[in-house]
Amino acid sequence: MRVLSVILLGFLLLGFGTAAFANDLSISGSGRNREVTLNKLLSKVPEGAAMTDASCKRIGIAGLNYQYRCSVTWEFRNQYLGAS
């Protein structure tokens, strides 16, 4: 019974997993330069989307080095909401 549950869960994740990623309204990435990392992410925002947030965190890595973990979120606004 447990094996059947695992198999069923696997099929559900396969079926809904691609749809969940296709509708994602954010993207994240990391790099050593904050501006370059943020610009790469901003270039992937879909045309027609309104950016709602862009932020970066400085993360320490091995030694005295660091990198930035940035994320950008957006939304699609319906410009015809008030139209009759």
pLDDT tens, position by position, 22-76: 457 999 999 999 999 999 999 999 988 999 999 999 999 888 899 999 999 999 8
Give domain status of residue 7, yes or no: no
Give domain status of residue 16, yes or no: no
Give domain status of residue 17, yes or no: no
Residue 32 DSSP symbol: S
Q: How far apart are CA 72 and CA 49, in angstroms?
A: 12
Give domain status of residue 1, yes or no: no
* Per-residue confidence band for 16, with pLDDT thresholds at 50, 70 and 90: very low
Q: Which two tokens stand for residue 19?
A: 């749809």
Give domain status of residue 72, yes or no: yes
Pair type for strands 26-31 and 50-60:
unpaired
Range of the domain at 55: 25-78
Q: How far apart are CA 21 and CA 41, in angstroms?
A: 16
Give domain status of residue 20, yes or no: no
Task: Give me the number of domains the chain comprises.
Answer: 1
Q: How far apart are CA 15 and CA 11, in angstroms?
A: 6
